[in-house]
Amino acid sequence: MNNTNHLNRLKPATPAVLIPLYILATCATIYAEVPKTAVIHHVSDPGVRMLLGATDSGRAKPGQRMQQYKDAVGVPGSKTSLSRLSLRNQTDGQIGALVKAGPASITSVYTFPCKVSGSVLYGWRQHGGSCSNGLWVVPVGPELQGSKVPSSNTDTAIASKNLLKAQASTDLVKYYCSTVANSKIGQWITSAGLLSPDVACQEATQKCEASTGSKCVVASLGEWSVKDPDLVVSMQCASNKTTEILARTDRGNGSVIDKLLSELEQMSQAVRGINCVAGIYHPNELIVSPAKDELTLIQTNDIGGNVEINVLVGSVNIVSTAKPNGLKVQKGFRYRLRENTVTKITDCSSRLKSQPVQEFLNSDNWPQEVNNQLQGYRSDFCQSAERATPEPTITPFDPFGSFDPFRRRQPPRIPGRGD
């Protein structure tokens, strides 16, 4: 009855959360799941570090696996440093996503199960994709922005300490976990306010399996600091009348987040929401997910703390505090969070020929089972011919209707930004 083997011995860290926002689903219920494991296929040099939770750090090596919450690979800012990883699904064990961090002038980090920062190529799809419920993209932390390839044992120790500091926290942290049943449409459980992520997921999984009589999987998990002054909490539910995921959000400081989440959960239960999944995020973060069940490839970037998403294959939905209901962005366009703008990518051809992209698309660098996926990325790579969609093209059915006491507390819209 316990589905937390891939999350065993979970370790606390800085407030970091995963949120499935505005993903698409069919009435057959394409539910999302976090990956079971992440496998390192390549590291370029000793400066690429493997972080185990918040307590240990060492040189990353090919073949290493990440299965614990907040395990991470940190790639220092360098013209040559990089790491490649694949993510395997909980349910079928197949590769659900391909990840390449670096090379770039800034530090790039992949954190298990669904968080990235810096310059990262991330390829996946909606159905059968790891983190298809949402990839959390965050700014590079101040401790990491100045990291370079260590040139001595002392430098290596300092770099490792900085990476660990980015994951360690002395603030009081609470955890949440959402689970969904994989054989029953609509069944879900969220546990929140727990003092460890493993306890939260164990509780949610056991309650879900006890109420459904079927196996349940973790769809999202994360944490928040009770001292955080500004957070957004959301509950996303599928609809049995449309193909859209429906989101309701509220906003407050960390001390009231568990209460706000409980209120949103009760409201979702009252309207019989399907596969509802909780999430919490910060104003300078965004969530990106495939807009359709098709191959999707993005390249993230960080420009002075401003998160940027370049859509190279497919289309994505991007969610932030400025766009709590999602912004659809087609391939050939980029989105910058701080400006809340979509602009055309004018260098698709040169980007395709660039060393980072060619290295990612080289089938010799990945397991044979993803050859067709890589060919699809090459064939469908952006040519800057598509047009941006400033708003989702389908108006979601609103099951909450007038029964939405939290509408008045949603983050205010910013005039001139995406209106």
Question: Interior CA angle at 15 toward 106 and 84, to 5°?
Answer: 40
Band of pLDDT at residue 319, cut at 50, 70 and 90: confident
Range(s) of the domain holding residue 46? 37-170+298-379
Of the listed ranges 203-217, 240-254, 341-355, the least confidently predicted one is 240-254
Of 340, 338, 339, which is closest to residue 391 (Cα–Cα)? 340
Q: What is the mean predicted confidence (pLDDT) over 343-357?
A: 95
Query: Does 131 map to a domain?
Result: yes
Say if 63 falls within a structural domain. Answer: yes
The pLDDT score that the predictor gives to residue 157 is 45
Domain for residue 152, yes or no?
Answer: yes
- CA 378: distance to chain centroid? 24
Q: Is the pLDDT of residue 88 over 80?
A: yes
Classify 346 as helix, strand or coil: coil
Residue 328 lies in a domain: yes
Return the structure tokens found at 21. 């926002």
Residue 330 lies in a domain: yes
In a domain, 320, yes or no: yes
Q: Determine the 3-state secondary structure of 249 from DSSP.
A: strand
Alpha-carbon span 387 to 226, nearest angstrom: 42
Top pLDDT among 203 and 148 is at 203
Read off the pLDDT band of 415 (50, 70, 90).
very low
Within a domain: 256: no
CB environment 369-385: b (16+ within 10 A), e (fewer):
ebeebbebbeebbbeee
pLDDT in tens, 162-179: 444 444 444 589 999 999
Q: What is the pLDDT of residues 293-304, one digit of tens each?
A: 899 999 999 999
Report the pLDDT averaged over residues 333-359.
95
Residue 12 or 97, more confident: 97
Closest CA to 391 of 328, 347, 345, 321: 328
Residues 69 and 8: beta-carbon distance below 8 Å: no
Please say if the pLDDT value at position 74 is more than 50.
yes
Cβ partners under 8 Å of residue 332, min gap 6:
311, 344, 345, 348, 382, 383, 384, 385, 386
Separation CA 144–CA 156 (nearest Å): 13
The whole-chain average pLDDT of the chain stands at: 78
Q: How does pLDDT run across 234-266, given as a tens digit for each residue?
A: 787 765 554 455 667 788 899 999 889 888 888
The span from the CA of 337 to the CA of 305, in Å, is 10
How many independent structural domains does the chain possess? 1
Q: How confident is the model at residue 104 (pLDDT cuts 50, 70, 90)?
A: very high
Is 354 within the bounds of a domain? yes
Give the angle subtended at the CA of 329 by the CAs of 328 and 335, to the nearest 5°: 115
Percent of the chain with pLDDT over 90: 43
